[in-house]
Every structure is written in C-alpha cells, then in structure tokens.
Structure 1
Amino acid sequence: MKMANHRNLAIAILALAAVSAIVLRQLEDKTETVQHPNATHPAEQAILPANGQTPPFESGAKAGLLAPSFTIQGENGVSYSVGGARDKAVLLNFWASWCDPCQAEAPELNQIAEKYKDTLDIYGINVTSYDYKANAERFVKKHKLVFPVMFDLKGEVYAKYNGSVFPTNVLIDRRGVISEIILGGLTAEQLDGKLEKLMQQKRL
C-alpha cells in the first residue's frame, strides 16, 4: 500500500515538473518575440510629418490624400515611380513646350533641383498628348533641364491628377501624401516658400 502511494506521488511530481517546463518554455518564446513598439528597423520606420499624423488610406488628386501611383519611363531610359513612402519628397511638374509659364519656370526648377537635391526629387512630365514630342525634346535641350524628364504620351498620368492647366505642380511629401496641387505658374520665391514647408518633416 505504501509503495503504491509512493509511486503515485512520484508520478504526480513528474507530471507537475513536465507542466512547469512547458509553461516556462512558452514564456521564454513570448519574451523572444515581443519587441518595443518603436524598435523597428530603419527601413520599416514610418515617415511622418512633424505633427506625427499617420498617412491616409485613400488615394486621389487632392491635398491630404495619397498621391495616385504610376510608373513612367524617362527620356534616359530609366523608369520612375510615384506611390507610397520614399526617402525624398517629390515635385511633379506637368508641362508643355508651348506653355509660356512653363518656359519661364524651367530655369527656376533647375535652381530648385540643385538647392534641394538631397531632399527632393523633381520629375518633369511632358504631357505629350497635348504637345509634340519633337518640340518637347527641343524644350529640354534649350533649357538644359537637370532633373529627370519623361513623356506622358497618352496623358494617362496627367489624367490621374485631374490635369487641366499648364504648368501643374504637385507637391508630395515623403509619406506619399499630396501636400498641395499648384495650378499655373508661381514666382521662384513663392514656389521656394512652399517647398520649405514641404521639407519640414521628420522620420519618426
């Protein structure tokens, strides 16, 4: 009788030890997988403005919405894309060679491209469906544009942004959100002031 009791006690102790080992292992696994909410890798960090707002989910041609995404090939054969977060803010410049304000702002855009080369990408998009490609190519050579130029042959990208005026400049922050859509030409000072505000962001 005593031997049976001892055997039962030994079995109970072994069972308890096994359960304890399983519970301890589960706790260790949880400890290994839980990270501090802010302990993300640099590539996964959200790009937020100074006020800490998160990006919207809706896209559209309107300030405060995610910029409509697209990929288009530049005259240099390189493909350029817009859509989602990126390392630099973007200025989309929709233009036509016959547009007087476009001709006036071309030298200013060259200066801006140089000034903000570390924080801003300028994409010069010729809306070729409203232009002639040969004239657009002469425009690029004449003004010696230093930023990437691409030809929107069917006006598809322009349509995504509800284009109706030349020039149209779209300012997109590093989250991929449209900051402002500027219809028509601006002075160099006015555009520079808007870009200064666009640059006032930080990576959190």
Structure 2
Amino acid sequence: MRLLPARLLVLTLALGAVVALFGAARSAKEARDKPEALYEALRLIRPEKPLTAKAFTLPAPGGGTVRLADFQGQVIFLNFWATWCPPCKEEMPAMERLYRKLKAKGFVVLAVSIDTDGEAAVVAFLREHGLTYPVALDPTMEVARLYTVRALPSTYLIDRKGRIAAMALGAREWDGPEAVALMEALLAQPS
C-alpha cells in the first residue's frame, strides 16, 4: 500500500513537467506571434512610421571598410559604443553571446565605435574581451550624428527589409529570453 503514494507523487511530478513544457512552448510561440510585449519588456523605442536605416560606409579595424549594405537581408543589431563607456562594456559580452547564438540564422551585430583614441585602442579592447562580431570605426561621429545618437550605448534593430524596428538607449541583457525571442521574431519576418 505504501507504493501508491510514491506512484501518485511520481505521476503528479510527471504531469507537472508536461504542463510546464507545454506552457513554455506556448509562451515562446505567443512571443513570436505578438512581439509587441517583447519590445515593451526590453524598454525599446519604436518608430511611429517605418524608417529606412541610413546607409553608411566606415573603416574597419585592421583595414578595409564596413558598409551597412554588406548585411542587406539580415537582421542587423547596430550598436554605437566606446571603449571608455561602462554601460557599453557591461552589455558587450551579452551581445557576443547573442551574435554567436543567432548568426547562422541571418543575424549580425555591427558595433560602431566612436572612440577618438585611435584604432589600436579599439583593437586591444576587442581582443581583451573576445569580441568577434563586425566592428566599424566612427571617430568623427559622422554616422552617429546621422543616426542622432545622444547616449551610449545606443542600439538600433534593423529588420531584413532594412527598416528600423526599434531603438534602445542604454545597456540591456541582450542574450536574455525576451531579447532572443524578439530577434527570432525579426528573423522570422520575410526579407
């Protein structure tokens, strides 16, 4: 008779696990179907009307150039930052994890440094922090002004059609569940 309570406990735990898994799957689907809640959860600013991301070309560390057009058809996480900015340093490891998780799906982080201390300082920072996503150099802040950057870090989420979907002022937990779900919702949209 003592086995009955043990079996009942096991059955109850198993049923609870099934309900929890179903609920998590349902929540993820709802997030993809209704990303508005994700924009709110991440405190993102949405444009009132669709805005096309402004084209630019900037030098890349180590030579060459980076053009926004190089990433056409991808979801672009355009981040303005500097090596001396504490909130920038805080969010960059999460940006790297997000980039590694989603880059195979057509997602790119493009980090635009506004540092004026020279390319060597930026390269040393990238190496020290193990950052592998594309970086561009904007020491004159020409592109930062083009995007009306007023604070660091500033991030623009650009959809596959080249439109600004949202903007963030300040650091975020970019590899958290809401951010990942939002990026996946943007990736699911047609280009």
Partner of 2:23: none
Match status 1:194 vs 2:163: no
From 103, 107, 127, the counterpart of 2:114 = 127
Letter in 2 for 1:197: A
Give the secondary structure class of the aligned counterpart of 2:52: coil
Question: Which structure has greater helix proportion?
Answer: 2
Partner of 1:106: 92
Partner of 2:141: 155
Give the Cα–Cα distance (whole angstroms) in 1 for the partners of residues 142 and 109 of structure 2.
19
- State how many pairs are aligned: 142
Give the secondary structure class of the aligned counterpart of 1:117: helix
Whether the 8 Å contact between 1:170 and 1:180 is mirrored in structure 2 is yes
Give the secondary structure class of the aligned counterpart of 2:80: strand
Whether the 8 Å contact between 1:66 and 1:84 is mirrored in structure 2 is no
Partner of 1:95: 81
Partner of 2:170: 184
Give the Cα–Cα distance (whole angstroms) in 1 for the partners of residues 189 and 123 of structure 2.
35
Whether the 8 Å contact between 2:77 and 2:110 is mirrored in structure 1 is yes
Give the secondary structure class of the aligned counterpart of 2:103: coil
Give the Cα–Cα distance (whole angstroms) in 2 for the partners of residues 134 and 75 of structure 1.
8
Unaligned 5+ runs, structure 1: 1-49, 51-61
Letter in 1 for 2:93: P
Deviations 1:101-154 (A, max 9, x none): 11111111111111111211211110124x664433322111111111121020
Give the secondary structure class of the aligned counterpart of 1:145: coil
Give the secondary structure class of the aligned counterpart of 1:116: helix
How does 1:21-40 map onto structure 2 within 5 Å?
none
Give the Cα–Cα distance (whole angstroms) in 1 for the partners of residues 119 and 72 of structure 2.
30
Partner of 2:64: 78
Give the Cα–Cα distance (whole angstroms) in 1 for the partners of residues 87 and 130 of structure 2.
17
Letter in 2 for 1:162: T
- The two structures, once aligned, show a CA RMSD in angstroms of 2.3
Give structure 1 regions of 4+ aligned residues with deviation exceeding 3 angstroms.
Answer: 131-135
Query: Per the alignment, do residues 98 and 191 of structure 1 end up closer, same or farther by CA in structure 2, a change over 3 Å counting?
Result: farther
Whether the 8 Å contact between 1:97 and 1:139 is mirrored in structure 2 is yes
